[in-house]
Structure 1
Amino acid sequence: MPANTAPTRRRLTREQRARQLLDVAWTLVGEEGTDALTLGRLAEAAGVTKPVAYDHFVTRNGLLAALYDDYDGRQTAVFNDRIGNARARLADRAAAIASGYIDCVLSQGSEVQGILAALVGAPELYEVRRRYQQDFIDHCAAWLGPFATGGTLPVAARWAILGAAETLSEGVAAGALDKADAEAELQRLIVATVKRR
């Protein structure tokens, strides 16, 4: 057998490596908790060197912010899918938003809450969370604006919907609220908020 026939490993692109590292990080957070997640631990679990992990995320806060951003990307995809499949009626759009928001929070549950807790006070958290909030209220303008008087849902109303969605989702994730009850309440709140405009 010639010496150069040893199996070779395919090199991942930067994007593929980042995806791999995020997937491994989600697994670590789920199995060991956020406190155990370091760039060194991530590199070990992913089978890469520490410099590879540091090259992608720079700091632990950078990794946590990337995880939150990854969660937000999946949440946006769920919303877009649900809204795309909902009939163009206010009640249907409100139901899609309510179920989509709560399902997304439940899909990551304590992991996302742990990431947020670990990032408290970090500039990375403010930037990522603010971008997520702005994206959500901008989407609410497009999803719900056509049903509001004058075709525009005021910014304050969109922030109110976001606040209710966050609070009800946290209640469900904590086991304090039934999921169906929270979805129905959020749907009612969205419809009432839009109809008042």
Structure 2
Amino acid sequence: MSRKLPRADRRAQLLNVASDIVREQGTDALTLGGLAERAGVSKPIAYDHFETRSGLMMALYKEAMDRQVEALAVALQDTPCEPDQVARVLATAYIECAVTIGPEWHAIGAALKGDAMMDAYHREMRDDHAVFYADAIIPLSKLDSITVRRRCVGLIGAMEAASNEVMAGRIGLKDAVDDIAFLIVSWLISGR
């Protein structure tokens, strides 16, 4: 068994190991018992941190989303408040983060489809992201804030679809970023 770690450090270690399992073997291989064994801890420790397999998968998904939002917030701090530049930063941050996180993020989301807690979390996450993107776009847009927020929900769907296409090798990263940046400028900033 591994040495005693502070709770937050142990949780981070378990999430890293869980991510490795999903990346190497897929979501079907991820169980709390298997996680405990691979991490070198007892099963009760894994269950104490995540309670259920769905809880573990949601924690993995949430961690990925939190990293994405954090990276975007940092990128926006250094971006001049100009439509084309803000649009490119928004598009690049989402697509690059999704590609960096890798296909396991999408596999986890797919594995949790139909789970009531995951569905509620996914809705909340999408709403939070829409507000985050809208807050970056509203100062640049001629549209009212309600329309921008509503359209940002569609934008997030488009970015998710584009990142899936990049990861599948059907479109290039640069093309995906260009397309999403164009969508942001034409659909949200131009005021149509």
Please report the TM-score for the alignment, with normalisation by the length of structure 1.
0.90
1:169 to 141, 163, 166: 163
Instruction: For residue 153 of structure 1, report the CA deviation from its aligned partner.
Output: 5.8
Q: Would you say the 8 A contact 2:143–2:191 is kept in 1?
A: no
Give the gaps of 5 or more residues in structure 2.
none
1:126 equivalent among 114, 119, 126: 119
Report what 2:190 is aligned to. 195
The whole-number CA distance in structure 2 between the counterparts of 1:124 and 1:66 is 12
Structure 2 equivalent of residue 15 of structure 1 = 8
Look up the equivalent residue of 1:168 and give its one-letter code: A
CA shift for structure 1 position 54: 0.5
Give the corresponding residue for 1:109.
102
- TM-score, normalised to structure 2, is 0.93
> Which position in structure 1 is the counterpart of 2:47?
54
TM-superposition CA deviations, 1:81-113 (whole Å, max 9, x none): 111121111111100010001011101221012
Aligned position for 1:158: 152
- Counterpart for residue 6 of structure 1: none
Instruction: Tell me which moved more, 58-67 or 148-157.
Output: 148-157
Report the residue type matching 1:188 in the other structure. Answer: F
> Which segments of 5 or more consecutive residues in structure 1 lack a partner in the other structure?
1-8
State the match for 1:148 in structure 2: 141
Helix, strand or coil at the partner of 2:131: helix
Query: What is the distance in 2 between the residues matched to 1:82 and 1:124?
Result: 31
Distance change >3 Å, CA 187–CA 44, structure 1 → 2: same
Give the CA deviation at 1:11: 2.8
RMSD (CA atoms): 1.5
In structure 2, C-alpha distance between the alignment counterparts of 1:183 and 1:83, rounded to whole Å: 16
Task: Indicate the structure (1 or 2) with the bigger Cα radius of gyration.
Answer: 1
Q: Which moved more, 1:183-192 or 1:29-38?
A: 29-38
Structure 1 match to 2:89: 96
> Helix, strand or coil for the counterpart of 1:63?
helix
SS at match of 2:104: helix
| Cα distance per residue 1:37-68 (max 9 Å; x no partner) | 10000000111000100111111011000000
Alignment counterpart, residue 67 of structure 1, candidates 47, 60, 71: 60
Question: Is 1:185 paired with 2:185?
Answer: no
